[in-house]
Structure 1
Amino acid sequence: MEQDSLVEYGARRVIITITAILCALLEIVDSTIVNVALNEMKGNLGATLSEVGWVITAYAIGNVIIVPMTSWLSQQFGRRNYFAASIIIFTVFSFLCGNATNIWELVFFRLVQGIGGGALLVTSQTIITESYPIEKRSMAQAIYGLGVIIGPTLGPPLGGYIVDNYSWPYIFYINIPIGIAAVMMTLQFVRSPKYSEKRKAKDVDWYGIVLLAAFVGSLQYILEKGHEDDWFESREIVILTVVAVIGFILFLWRELSCKYPIVELRVLKNGNLRIGTVMSFILGFGLYGSTFIVPLYTQSILGWTALQSGALMIPAALTTAFMMPIIGKLLTRGVKQQILVSLGLLIFFIYSFWGYKILTPNTGKDDFFWMLMVRGAGLGLLFIPITSLSLSTLKGKEIGQGAAFTGMMRQLGGSFGIAAITTFISNQTSIHRENIAQHLDANSFDVQQRVAALKASFIAKGYSPDVALQSAYKLLDLNVLKQASVLSYMDVFLYLGLLFLVCIPFVLFVKERKGREPIDVSEAMH
């Protein structure tokens, strides 16, 4: 592959950078903007809560299946054509999502939209990286990282604003003009690398594609739906677990024995990529986990609106954005990636421990501010260094293959994180609830006084004495549940922090690159 021929200068490079960031933003904003609109969709399409959850799940499954194949598809069809086709699929299915008349139509359109979207992230990063000369690659990563970090944070407030002022289909229609502009700019300015070989149809690893889709799709379903269906109590979850395990084993065997595999597993012989892949998984776990837990806490426990809890995350995203170019410069000057990643993990531990300390049933907006700023700084120190560490010793085609791994692992890390956190919160809440209830003795003077005071306040509102007493006990029970929920959120913060702390020694053992050539980082980041 001719690397240097793709370097662009002047206005062309600016236009290509803007196109690629627009596409990355389209895909990322779309994965989080929907969260805020689920209630509206539920009422509008007459769906249950678990059915409407599929709008998020289907998109994630489409993403995860396509990401490992992007490197191969770019070689098959030429990068520019594949990139433009992905934007067209994404845009057309955005329009269809907005026009869906029932929930399963919407879920199918979201799946296909996710397949179009998966390519946008990985490919837009390669395009940016290869448009910059090697000595400016870390800076290119920083520019790309800006879009990737700000995207998930923009989704909820933007979605909240659209839903409050218009109606839910507009969260999809907003993609259409951007998509059309991006297709035109791609066809006009983006160039494809010269690939030495194309595969004939008979050489395509069809079995690999089917096994990958079966294994990753089943795994993603289990992670997204396991908690709702009570894990292995559900027949579907048991069947899909068997499919995922068998699919995984057959997929490994197929890819290692096939002449032209769809996913090049041999690239994992590289030690740095192996460690980077694990770190990407943990980063996804922490990044998506904490992006998921803070809005959930502020909305379910503190009663904030979607717009308020989305806006809370904006200053932290700006902190990360501010950090990105600084970290790009530090890497260019030769600061070791291991040091930056370890520092990022330590800061993430401080953020989590801080969260553990400040959570109460009425934590104020100001209490979150500095804690989230610390999270923003930690993310900045993790994102680019982990990517450049993973790909630092790869060459040529391996870069795209390695990038697809880190991208997929970050996505799966996020799904694992959200699944683990929801299950953990619900289990811990029932444990804490029992513990608190044991300490509430009906004969205790304090408890009797509290019940009497609540009963009196209900009588004052015009309730009859027996209804007032029932209402007083109900309210007391709700307070117990709220306290138990707060304690379980505190546990999540504490354990997330410890997870990041434990990783620091492993990062410090990573091998140093031979020589001091500038980092050539390409693809990844989801």
Structure 2
Amino acid sequence: MASAESAAGGATGGTNPWLIALVVSLATFMEVLDTTIANVALRYISGGLGVSSDEASWVVTTYLVSNAIVLVASSFIAKRYGRRSFYLACLATFTLASILCGLAWNLESLLLFRVIQGFAGGGMVPVSQSILADSFPPAKRGQAFALFGVAVVVAPVIGPTLGGYLSDNYSWHWCFLINGPVGVFAFALVWFLVKEPDSLRKERAELRRKGIRFDIVGFALVAIFLGALEVVLDRGQTDDWFNSTFIIVVSAICALAFLLSIPWLLTKENPVLDARLLGQRQFGSCFIVMGATGAILISTTQFLPELLQEFYGYTATWAGLALSPGGLVTMMMMFMVGRLSSHVQPKYLIALGAAIIAAAMWDLTRVYGDLNFWFFAESRIYIGLGLPLIFIPITSASYFGLRPDQTDQASALLNGARNTGGSIGVSIASNVLAHREQWHQSRLVEHVVPTEPAYQQTLQSLTQYFAQRGATLPEAQSQAIAFIGRQVDTQRGFLAYIDVFYTLMLISLCAVPLALILKNIKLGEGGGGGAH
């Protein structure tokens, strides 16, 4: 895409390229916003649709998985059928699906529309990057990608706060309906401003002349593998894992799709996914690190608001605001790390970022009932310090040693790793939370029995306390027993969340050695934008 026509602004048709940058950044902002806007609204969605909190979390994971699936196919589809046409189709479908999500009448319909929304959104980010590359000459692309990067970073910051405000003051439906007018506006701007460069028309004609077709078999195998894996992770705890025939069948389908995809993707002339990239030490390590980072980012964005709402009585708005300072720090750090990455090897920055995030997760294991707003805001700030140290250097590190024709695949795979990792991270955290809540409940109630002296003493003290406040003796004893029950429930919740944060800490620590085995690169070189 770095052709002479690109440098002259082949995608702009004479339009100011900065206007193009604003348009595609707006559409991408809307798409990335939807990865986090529903997180703080899950309690409202759970109550509104009459489902459990675990089932409500599927609203997040289905979007991420479908988004990751289509990423691997977006590059070929854009080249084969026209980048502008594909982008407009994605934008229109995303907008319509968003409106349908807001009008969903039950969980099944909401999940269906979220899958459609994820499929459409998955094609928008990489195509946006390609449009930017074709709209600016090489000397100014860095500035354009910086604007695009700010939009990508700001969206997850605003998402929880905006979603919380809309849920508290209007309805959770507006977390999705708000995309309607924004999507229509963005569609109109793209329709009139973005043009298809002649070089892409020639490339499309060449693909047709050679008879190169979309790898539907490879795409189906990847989609079945990722989809089945997500079903197993989401439903495993609820269905008692491998004691369930359903889980066994879906696990077998997942394993079969994975095994069949390996020889297919390795031997196909034009596979939907270049699996050989994952076998390289450099790119494969970056892929895993990006997946781990996505797991931390998306999991904490979902579970911190849930913790604040369930045990600290925060509204959805205030739960979202607790995440905002960390997002602002991330945005400022993006520019600092951009300069730092010209002087320090990426592997050291990535390892430092992963270590900082692990320390933030360890800090969160100190949760107890009397913590204030700033404890959680500061923990998010630590995460905000670590994330840019991974997201920016990992682009240069992952592109090192790749041929120019592999960069589109590398970008799609990195984006897919982030989303798939986020989905798997949410599922793992949900399962850890549910399992450890049951385990801690069992351990705690072992001590809440009439034969325990400590229980008798506590019951007597509480009964006396409530009796002194006007309750009759039977009422006071009932209130005391209920109070003890609530304390047990609260403690098992805190202990389970502590286990979740320990799990995320271990995931982040695993990224440190993977980062350190990366090769040194020539500083000042590397791809751009792939890690978004």
TM-score of the two chains, using structure 2 as the length reference? 0.89
The answer to whether structure 1 residue 520 and structure 2 residue 527 are counterparts is: yes
In the TM superposition, what is the alpha-carbon distance from 1:158 to its structure 2 partner? 1.0
> What is the aligned partner in structure 1 of residue 129 from structure 2?
125
> What is the aligned partner in structure 1 of residue 28 from structure 2?
24
> What is the aligned partner in structure 1 of residue 237 from structure 2?
227
Q: Give the letter for the 2:427 counterpart.
A: A
In the TM superposition, what is the alpha-carbon distance from 1:429 to its structure 2 partner? 3.0
Alignment check: 8 A CA contact 1:215 1:244 kept:
yes
> What is the aligned partner in structure 1 of residue 216 from structure 2?
206
After superposition, the Cα gap between the structure-2 partners of 1:315 and 1:485, relative to the gap in structure 1 and judged at 3 Å, is: same
CA-to-partner distance for each residue in 1:260-313, whole Å, 9 max, x for gaps?
222222333543211111111111122122222221221222221111110011
The answer to whether structure 1 residue 243 and structure 2 residue 253 are counterparts is: yes
The equivalences for 1:162-201 within 5 A come to 162-187=166-191, 188-189=193-194, 191-192=196-197, 194=200, 195=203, 197-199=206-208
Alignment check: 8 A CA contact 1:142 1:384 kept:
no
> What is the aligned partner in structure 2 of residue 150 from structure 1?
154
Alignment check: 8 A CA contact 1:356 1:494 kept:
yes
CA-to-partner distance for each residue in 1:230-252, whole Å, 9 max, x for gaps?
32233322211111110111122
> What is the aligned partner in structure 2 of residue 387 from structure 1?
395
Stretches of structure 1 that go unaligned for 5 or more consecutive residues are none
In the TM superposition, what is the alpha-carbon distance from 1:441 to its structure 2 partner? 7.0
Query: Paired residue for 1:160, among 164, 185, 195?
Result: 164
SS at the partner of 1:203?
A: coil
Alignment check: 8 A CA contact 2:164 2:319 kept:
no
Query: Paired residue for 2:414, among 403, 406, 410?
Result: 406
The equivalences for 1:348-359 within 5 A come to 348-357=357-366, 359=367
Within 2, Cα distance between the matches of 1:103 and 1:15?
Answer: 39
> What is the aligned partner in structure 1 of residue 356 from structure 2?
347
> What is the aligned partner in structure 1 of residue 309 from structure 2?
299
Q: Give the letter for the 1:69 counterpart.
A: A
**Aligned pairs, how many?**
522
Alignment check: 8 A CA contact 1:141 1:384 kept:
no
CA-to-partner distance for each residue in 1:455-488, whole Å, 9 max, x for gaps?
2344456655334323322321321232232223
Within 2, Cα distance between the matches of 1:162 and 1:352?
Answer: 29
Query: Paired residue for 1:257, among 239, 253, 267?
Result: 267
Alignment check: 8 A CA contact 1:139 1:328 kept:
no
Greater CA deviation, 121-130 or 172-181?
121-130
After superposition, the Cα gap between the structure-2 partners of 1:54 and 1:497, relative to the gap in structure 1 and judged at 3 Å, is: closer
CA-to-partner distance for each residue in 1:61-89, whole Å, 9 max, x for gaps?
42122111111111111222211211011
The answer to whether structure 1 residue 35 and structure 2 residue 45 are counterparts is: no
Alignment check: 8 A CA contact 1:57 1:221 kept:
no
Within 1, Cα distance between the matches of 2:444 and 2:524?
Answer: 59
SS at the partner of 1:262?
A: coil
After superposition, the Cα gap between the structure-2 partners of 1:269 and 1:233, relative to the gap in structure 1 and judged at 3 Å, is: closer
Q: Give the letter for the 1:20 counterpart.
A: V
Within 2, Cα distance between the matches of 1:296 and 1:38?
Answer: 8
The equivalences for 1:302-317 within 5 A come to 302-317=312-327
CA-to-partner distance for each residue in 1:380-423, whole Å, 9 max, x for gaps?
21111122311233233311101111111111211221122122
CA-to-partner distance for each residue in 1:357-391, whole Å, 9 max, x for gaps?
3x112211122233222211111211111223112
Within 2, Cα distance between the matches of 1:437 and 1:354?
Answer: 28
Alignment check: 8 A CA contact 1:392 1:521 kept:
no
The equivalences for 1:29-178 within 5 A come to 29-41=33-45, 44=48, 52-129=56-133, 131-134=135-138, 140-178=144-182
Within 1, Cα distance between the matches of 2:448 and 2:105?
Answer: 50
Within 1, Cα distance between the matches of 2:450 and 2:351?
Answer: 51
SS at the partner of 1:455?
A: helix
In the TM superposition, what is the alpha-carbon distance from 1:168 to its structure 2 partner? 3.3
CA-to-partner distance for each residue in 1:15-36, whole Å, 9 max, x for gaps?
2222222122211212322234
Q: Give the letter for the 1:490 counterpart.
A: I
Alignment check: 8 A CA contact 2:324 2:377 kept:
no
Stretches of structure 2 that go unaligned for 5 or more consecutive residues are none
The answer to whether structure 1 residue 218 and structure 2 residue 228 are counterparts is: yes
The equivalences for 1:304-453 within 5 A come to 304-331=314-341, 333-357=342-366, 359-438=367-446, 442=450, 446-453=454-461
SS at the partner of 2:36?
A: helix
Alignment check: 8 A CA contact 1:458 1:471 kept:
yes
> What is the aligned partner in structure 1 of residue 5 from structure 2?
5
Identity of matched residues, %: 30
In the TM superposition, what is the alpha-carbon distance from 1:316 to its structure 2 partner? 0.7
Within 1, Cα distance between the matches of 2:149 and 2:512?
Answer: 22
Greater CA deviation, 11-20 or 454-463?
454-463
Within 2, Cα distance between the matches of 1:435 and 1:109?
Answer: 41
In the TM superposition, what is the alpha-carbon distance from 1:142 to its structure 2 partner? 4.1
Alignment check: 8 A CA contact 1:86 1:117 kept:
yes
